[in-house]
Amino acid sequence: MHDLRTVSRLFQMRADFVEARPYGSGHINDTYCAWYNQAGIPLRYIHQRINHHVFKKPEQVMENVARVTHHALGRLLADGHPEAHRRTLTCIPAHDGKSYAVDENGNFWRTYPFIERAHGYDEIESNEQAFQAARAFGEFQKLAADLIGERLHETIPDFHNTPKRLAALEAAITADVAGRGTTVTAEIAFARARTADCSRIYDLIVSGEIPERVTHNDTKLNNVLLDETTAEAICVIDLDTTMPGSALYDFGDMVRTAAPTTREDDPDLHNLGVRLDRFESLVRGYLSAATFLNAAERANLAFSGKLLTLECGIRFLTDYLSGDTYFKIKRPTHNLDRCRNQFAFVAVLEENMDAMEEIVVRASSVGT
């Protein structure tokens, strides 16, 4: 537990600190909900310590966050949105005007107003929630689509550079530091057989057919706050990985995490299938907001789910061959189970690709 009263003094708070408690279920940053008093009116804020061991350049992370949220708020206010300040995170400035502050121990802190009467869910419970989450991420991208100025910092270089992920796998196969290569020949062959898929979207970006956009890069439901009364998506949170990328990466990861019939580390592949009804909800929700997509982006929406699942499986396999040095594991074969699960889902998506592409065409043509 950090001294949040001292942390509060680092920022331009317009209220008196009362108390703070740990908040949320995140595993990377330290998050606290703090209560303040402003002339007898209780106010809540979020204080968050950025994990500078994970994010090596927290200043760049916060420059990205501040630029994107400031721009989004300006867009919402210009459009006359009645809840503009509730629809985007807002950085409370430190006393030097920056969007973050550094305490005496070298910890990086940021502060946001607490978004009241809304909360996130760790698991999608309905197609309506899938629709709302996808719409929220589409709206997030739309608000940032005309961000001007210098390119955002690439806080995790080559995060979704799938050809480089495949190259890293080949290096791990060659090194075989854990002596596991002979046990995963089928998985290696599966990845190599899809080499052309790995470069498909990357090549379209390089050629200019797909534009680089501001993307979130962690598009899980628990990064969307839903209104407690209406269940409408209110605000996208956890913007640490916001950086340049393809809109398709965000949508593809939604498919990867929301459309399977079981969790990503389920070793029983008989449980694994794709929920086409859930996929349709994602498509309808996303396209209801992402009106800025060009023809090449729309044409690859269905494929993006396959690509992001393939990329994740490659990363799990690479880590397994490297001795489980990146992803946390709960059993010796955890990363291998994850890899097999993701590759099996790739195969399921391939079997259903025609149906998925038809869903995209239908949603694009009839509207939402």
* Beta carbons within 10 angstroms of residue 104's beta carbon: 8
Q: What is the pTM of this model?
A: 0.93
Predicted local distance difference test score (pLDDT) of residue 159:
92
Q: Which CATH superfamily is domain 4-116 in?
A: Phosphorylase Kinase; domain 1 (3.30.200.20)
- Is the Cα torsion angle 58, 64, 66, 72 positive or negative in sign? negative
Q: Residues 300-353: pLDDT tens digits?
A: 999 999 999 999 999 999 999 999 998 989 999 999 999 999 999 999 999 999
What pLDDT, in 10s, does the model give residues 9-64?
999 999 999 999 999 877 789 999 999 999 999 999 999 999 998 899 999 999 99
Integer angstrom CA distances of residue 251 from 58, 239, 248, 306: 26, 16, 5, 11
Please provide residue 348's backbone torsions phi and psi, each rounded to the nearest 5 degrees: -65, -40
Per-domain residue ranges for the chain?
Answer: 4-116, 127-366
Q: Is 135 helix (H, G, I), strand (E, B) or coil?
A: helix
Please say if the pLDDT value at position 111 is more than 80. Answer: yes
Q: Is the dihedral of CA 314, 318, 321, 323 positive or negative?
A: negative
Q: Give the rounded percent of residues in the chain with a pLDDT score beyond 70.
A: 99
**64-96 confidence digits (pLDDT tens):** 999 999 999 999 999 999 999 999 999 999 999
pLDDT at 64: 98
User: Mean pLDDT throughout 218-225?
Assistant: 93
pLDDT-derived band of residue 368, with 50, 70 and 90 as boundaries?
A: very low
Q: What is the CA radius of gyration of the chain?
A: 21
The matching CATH number, chosen from 3.90.1200.10, 3.40.190.170, 3.40.50.10890, 2.40.160.40, for 127-366 is: 3.90.1200.10
Q: Which pLDDT tens digit goes with each residue over 251-298? A: 999 999 999 999 999 999 999 999 999 999 999 999 999 999 999 999
CB-CB contact of 236 with 218 (8 Å): no
